[in-house]
Structure formats: structure tokens, C-alpha cells
Amino acid sequence: MKRLLIGTALATSFGAAAFAGSHSNEVKIGVFLGFTGPIESTVAQMGPAAEFAVNEVNESGLLLGGASVSSVRADTTCIDAGAATAAMERLVTSDNVDGVVGGDCSGVTGAALMNVALPNGMVMISPSATSPGLSHMNNEDNGLFFRTAPSDARQGVVMTEILMDRGINSVAVSYTNNDYGKGLADAFQSAYEAAGGTVTLNAPHEDGKADYSAEVAALAAAGGDRLVVAGYVDQGGKGITQAALDTGAFDTFHFPDGMLSAKLLEDFGADLNGSTGQHPSPSVELAANFKSVVGDAFDSTSAFAPESYDAAALIMLAMQAAGSKDPNVYKEHVMNVANAPGEKINAGELAKGLEILANGGEIDYVGATGVELVGPGEAAGTYREVEYVNGEETTAGFR
């Protein structure tokens, strides 16, 4: 029995070596998203979007002189840093991926980056982690981390502009008690106060709790012209909004991206009249182009699906520009392919981009969201300003 086991082990290792040898010209992209957990319904569109870009490149056969590209999925769970770290470890050490699209939620992304990507020198491009804590201003990430979603520090500034333009200079803030909520609330508070506004109270709420009257009572006592709810629409954010409306504590609200969905309107309808919000969103033309490219493969308008496509595309374009699939080499080229100068490359034109790069040209990747990387490698971001009028969600403009 023992001999058989040893024999099997030897055979497997030889097999693995032979496998690796015969596929030296293969590129693997990890798709590291929360396929289970609180945002699994969103990821159901994000995963296919990333894989769509991989397929597009694979079919063109132009990457690194005809390398075949494939993708490997791993689950971040969105909330469990331990499970996410283990999954990332698997991607890097056992699946031997050459780049990672992900993670999705800010907390697990930070954990996977610090514990696995950094020591192993792996590039991560996140489509949806928005916490300002992930902006590595002093190169703590060795230049390995990028994101195609804008940081919430930027969202805080956009929120401030929207509120200030409407003459609202005193608000109360209730945020969901996690990396996303706290990051956004703090970013907003500093931007708002710098612009001369007053935050009467900046207090957290826990998700999934039985009763929110205590939180709303404190917010109401603090007062303010509007209540900013930096939470989740299917979690505590809804409970807070409901309780605030019921007690008459606040009549109008401001909703950041976590709250904006069709569900919000379904739940509150005309009670939202006069309220505002914003979420990252590509311009109308880019969205229409992306929709025509993907067809029915997945829902192209779903949150962060375009960002996922762009994240995967950027990894492969950077490889092409570097002429190497080594993360420590191609990480230097991510910013170059994403930004001007160069030929503009839209979604669905990845083959054209690869060809230009192969011939030594330069490209400016536009993609599905109008990618423009700033600062330490994060999207500048376009936000859609939302206003509720007569029980309808209307677009007040783009910022």
C-alpha cells in the first residue's frame, strides 16, 4: 500500500511537471471574486464579465505571440479574510496564475493583497474594492495593486459637490460598520467639512439587526438638512431609511453607491422625492457600446460588471506591452496602457489593442468604463448623479 502511494505521488509529480512544461506558452488569469456571500448576486455578472474579456483575447490568438489564455475562479466570500487568503494562496501557488482580477470587497482584498500577493509578487486589479484604505500612496503595495473602480475618497468629494450645489450644508451620516461604510463616511466628512459643511453626527449602524430606532433617535437629535445613508440597500441601510421616514426624523436623504438599486425605489417609492445619490457609472455612449459587444452573455449594466471586464483586459494588455507574463515586469506597464497617449481602444477592440502593442505602438485603453488611472493606480471614475422626482429615479448629470 505504501509503495502504491509513493508510486502515485511520483507519477502525479511527473505528470504535473510534464503538464507545466508543455504549456509554457499559456497565460492564466485568476478571477478572485465573492461567488458566495453578501454580494453573490452582483458577482454572478462580474465573473462572466472578466471571463468574457479573457475569451475575447484567447480567440484573437494575439497575446504574447499566440499564447492561450484561460481563467481560474476562486471565492473571496466578500467577508471572510481567512477564507479569501487561502483561496488567493491556492490561485498563486497551486494554479500558478499570472495575474488576478479581484478581489471584490475592500476587507478581503486588503487581506489577500498583504498576505499573498505582496510576498509572491502577484498583480491584482480589483473591479470593485473602493475603500480609501487601499490607496497605497507610499508604494506599500510594491506597485502590484490597481483598481478599475474609483476610491471612495473620490466619491466623498463628488458627494460633497452634489450636496453643496444644492445648498445643503448640514447633514447627519449613518454608515454600515465595515471597511466600506467607515471609509466612505470618513472620506465624505473630511471633504464636506473642508468645503464648509457641517456633519452633525457620523455614527455607524450594524447590518442585519432587529431594530434601528435607537440609531435614528440619535441621528434625529443631532439634526441636519439631510441624512446620508452609507449602507447597503438590502441590509441596515434600508432599516435606517425606513425608521427615519416613519418617525419623520428626516424627509430627504442622500444615497451613495451601496444604496442605489432598483430595490430602493421599489421599497420606498414616492417617499424618496427630493432625495439624491450617486454611483460610479460609465457614460451613456460607453454603456451602449459595451452592451452591443457582450450581447446576452451577461447583464452589461449590472454594477461593477464593466469594471470587471476592464480589469481583466488591463492585465492582458499590460502583459502584451511588457512582452512578458511576469507580474513584476508587466506591472510597470498597466498605467501606460490605461492612459493617454496612444490609440483609443474601446470594449470589444482588444484584438486591435494587442496588435498595436505587438508592433511597438501605444494605446490608451478606454474599455467599458472609460478607464483613466490616477494616483497610485486607481480609476478617476465618472459618477452618475441621481435625483428622485415623482417616485422615479432620474439622472441629474455625470460628474
Residues near 4 by beta carbon (within 8 Å), at least 6 away in sequence: none
Smallest gap from residue 106 Cβ to another protein (A):
20
Q: Is 391 in the site for another protein (CB under 8 A)?
A: no
* Out of 36, 70, 198, 242, the residue judged to bind another protein by CB under 8 A: 242
Say whether 108 sits in a helix, a strand or coil: helix
Task: Enter the DSSP assignment of 383.
Answer: E
Q: What is the 3 state secondary structure string of 126-181?
A: ECCCCCHHHCCCCCCCCCCEEEEEECHHHHHHHHHHHHHHCCCCEEEEEEECCHHH
CA distance 34 to 44: 9
Which residue in 279, 268, 286 sits closest to 349, CA to CA? 286
Q: Is 44 in the site for another protein (CB under 8 A)?
A: no
* Out of 93, 247, 292, 394, the residue judged to bind another protein by CB under 8 A: 247
* Out of 215, 225, 349, 372, the residue judged to bind another protein by CB under 8 A: 215
Q: Is 216 in the site for another protein (CB under 8 A)?
A: yes
Q: Is 211 in the site for another protein (CB under 8 A)?
A: yes
CA distance 224 to 163: 12
Smallest gap from residue 247 Cβ to another protein (A):
5
Question: Which three cell numbers mark 115?
Answer: 498576505
209 vs 344 by CB, closer to another protein:
209
Smallest gap from residue 250 Cβ to another protein (A):
11
* Out of 213, 283, 301, 394, the residue judged to bind another protein by CB under 8 A: 213
Question: Which three cell numbers mark 119?
Answer: 510576498
Segment contacting another protein (CB under 8 A): 85-93, 220-228, 329-337, 363-371? Answer: 220-228
Q: Is 179 in the site for another protein (CB under 8 A)?
A: no
Smallest gap from residue 203 Cβ to another protein (A):
6
118 vs 218 by CB, closer to another protein:
218
76 vs 241 by CB, closer to another protein:
241
215 vs 225 by CB, closer to another protein:
215
With vertex at residue 40, the alpha carbon angle to CA 35 and CA 41, rounded to the nearest 5 degrees, is 135
Question: Which three cell numbers mark 95?
Answer: 494554479
Q: Is 208 in the site for another protein (CB under 8 A)?
A: yes
With vertex at residue 65, the alpha carbon angle to CA 60 and CA 69, rounded to the nearest 5 degrees, is 55
* Binding-site ranges for another protein (CB under 8 A): 177, 201, 203-206, 208-211, 213-218, 220-223, 234, 238-239, 242-243, 246-249, 263, 267
